Amino acid sequence: MSLGENRFLEEYEPGDYPSVALAVDLVVFAVVGSTLHVALVRRGEHPFEGDLALPGGFVGTEEDALGAAWRELEEETGLDLGAHRAHVEQLATFSSPKRDPRMRVVSVAHLALLATDGRTLPELNPGSDAASAHWYPVHAVLADEELAFDHRDILTTALERLAGRIEYTLTAAKLLPEEFALYQLRHVYEAVWNTAKLDAGNFTRKMTGALTDTGRKVTRSKGAPASVFTVKDEYLSPPMTRPTTGPER
């Protein structure tokens, strides 16, 4: 560091500039059956005490945003993403001046896709300033529930990113174990798009080119055993078409 830079930093006054707090929020999606769920907490403190909210909090002075996101999620829900098959990515930055009534807070939101067997969800245990933590059906939340801060906007943004991305990629498979049956993958599409049953034959035709058949089969409670696949190609060509109403044509 040069002498001039040292002198500049010694005379620099951070208090001359408006302070902005940095926070993180997490949208954690998981699928059971044909229903997409999101992990939400019930706030135990003001502001928005008693309201549903995404897990999140302030970034510590020695943390980056991703590290803070993992920490806050575990503190508020007991969910350790490192113990699960999970995909985490930065979603967007939310910086409306009025998004937090306490002060100017900018939030770096993250999207997490948690793989499940399609039958059960990991148990959530509230901690930190959360009064409770549960899995909620995403589409029902957006239709009927009020969310704290601007968390409805964050949740909507996350859902739209996922819904759009699965049209042309195998991102939906990140919500499943590494090996899965086609009916499980189809259920993920139905869950994210909140649609009636997609046509199984048409879905299979569009998907199999991007998948590798393991040669193994899994027994089902109903019907014949189903073939087990892994992802071969991240991209779908041609892409899936998201239905507007009813099943895919």
**Domains observed in the chain:** 19-164 (3.90.79.10), 168-231 (1.10.10.10)
Left (φ > 0), alpha (ψ -120 to 50) or beta: where does 128 sit?
left
Give the N- to C-terminal CA distance of the chain in Å, as an integer.
64
pLDDT score, position 106: 98
**What DSSP line would sit under 193-211, residue for residue?**
HT-SPPPHHHHHHHHGGGE
State pTM to two decimals. Answer: 0.92
pLDDT score, position 245: 54
Could you tell me which residues come within 8 angstroms of residue 100 by beta carbon, excluding any fewer than 6 positions away?
23, 47, 149
Return the closest-CA partner of residue 170 out of 219, 208, 137: 208
Integer angstrom CA distances of residue 116 from 7, 170, 184: 56, 16, 10
Give the pLDDT confidence of 161-182 residue by residue, as tens digits. Answer: 999 999 999 999 999 999 999 9
Measured CA to CA, the distance from residue 29 to residue 158 in angstroms comes to 9
**Biggest distance spanned by C-alpha atoms of the chain:** 77
Q: Are 163 and 212 in contact (CB under 8 A)?
A: no
How much is the average pLDDT of 51-78? 96
Across the chain, what does the average pLDDT equal? 93
Q: Are 147 and 51 in contact (CB under 8 A)?
A: yes
